[in-house]
Amino acid sequence: EVQLVQSGAEVKKPGESLRISCKGSGYSFTSYWISWVRQMPGKGLEWMGRIDPSDSYTNYSPSFQGHVTISADKSISTAYLQWSSLKASDTAMYYCASGSSADYWGQGTLVTVSS
Amino acid sequence: QSALTQPPSASGSPGQSVTISCTGTSSDVGGYNYVSWYQQHPGKAPKLMIYEVSKRPSGVPDRFSGSKSGNTASLTVSGLQAEDEADYYCSSYAGSNNLGVFGTGTKVTVL
């Protein structure tokens, strides 16, 4: 069974750094891109960026370029989304997704940024 | 890349059909046969319902169907059931090195 398991909810202060994770199992982790999707409270879905786990090549949405970093460690089938300096506006649910049409999704990681 | 346009809401009685539109441009929906639809129940992760315009993943009921005409894709849910009440999002490929774009989302209510 294909599974993407994300790390748990986080509460951070503005300016702090954070890395959340997404571990894949049940399939060849390097076969599909891993994408990250943001959903702000009460709002729709937004593609943030994606990574090819086989060579760590990344694409970012212009809206997120420079504010987040996507990485992966194929040896442990895990992708990461990280911030070096969080803002209150980063408060959202973050999902990872994989598969040729984003067939499989993680359960989501809620990130709350508040002073 | 601007979000694809969906109606904010749609509704129907149990057993009826509801169709949701997803309008883009020739650079996304109209240019490629790579439109997907996702269902999201409150507090849950999105679930793929349709891919490549009209294909259903294994396990998705055949009550769900997709189509496309020009720059507009559509999702039809036939024989509405209570569990179909959810938010639905379309997404389209928009060219190489482009992440693609989501629709604005449609809340489907089963009356």
pLDDT digits (tens, 9 = 90+) for B77-107: 999 999 999 999 999 998 877 788 999 999 9
Return the pLDDT at B81. 97
Give per-residue pLDDT as tens, A6-58: 999 999 999 999 999 999 999 999 999 999 999 999 999 999 999 999 999 99
Question: B33 to chain A: nearest residue by CA?
Answer: A101
Q: Which of A74, A76, A79, A60 is nearest to A30 (CA)?
A: A74
**CB–CB of B38 and A49 under 8 A?**
no
Tell me the backbone φ, ψ of residue B75, rounded to 5 degrees.
-120, 130
Q: Token match 């702000």: residue?
A: A40
In degrees, rounded to 5, the angle at the alpha carbon of residue A70 between the alpha carbons of residues A68 and A73 is 150
Token pair 């209510």 in the structure block, residue: B109
- Compute the distance between CA of residue A57 and CA of residue A95 in angstroms, rounded to an integer: 19
3-state secondary structure of A23: strand
- pLDDT, mean of residues B30-58: 97
pLDDT score of B51 more than 80: yes
Query: Which residues lie across from B102 on neighbouring strands?
Result: B91
pLDDT of residue A100: 87
3-state SS, one letter per residue, for chain B: CCCEECCCEEEECCCCCEEEEEECCCCCHHHCCCEEEEEECCCCCCEEEEECCCECCCCCCCCEEEEEECCEEEEEECCCCHHHCEEEEEEECCCCCCCCEEECCEEEEEC
Identify the residue among B99, B102, B106 best suited for mutation to test binding to A, counting A beta carbons within 10 A and taking the highest: B99
Question: What's the confidence (pLDDT) of residue A41?
Answer: 97
pLDDT confidence of residue B85: 98
Query: End-to-end distance of chain A based on CA atoms, in angstroms?
Result: 40
pLDDT of res. B8: 97
The separation between CA B101 and the C-alpha centre of its own chain, rounded to angstroms, equals 12
Task: Flag if B46 and A106 touch (Cβ within 8 Å).
Answer: no
Q: Do A95 and B45 touch (CB under 8 A)?
A: yes
* 8 A C-beta contact, residue A51 and residue A32: no
- The beta-carbon neighbor of A45 closest among B47, B57, B89 is B89
Distance of CA A108 to the CA centre of its chain: 9
Nearest to A102 among B48, B52, B97 (CB): B48
Q: What percent of chain B has pLDDT over 70?
A: 100
Across the interface, of A59, A102, A107, the residue whose CB is closest to B36 is: A102
* Alpha-carbon span B31 to A106, nearest angstrom: 29
Among the partner-chain residues A47, A59, A105, the one whose CB lies closest to the CB of B102 is A47
**Residue of chain A with shortest Cα separation from B104:** A44
For residue B11, pLDDT over 90 is answered with yes
**Test mutation, A4, A5, A45, chain B, max B CBs within 10 A:** A45
pLDDT tens for each residue of A56-76? 999 999 999 999 999 999 999
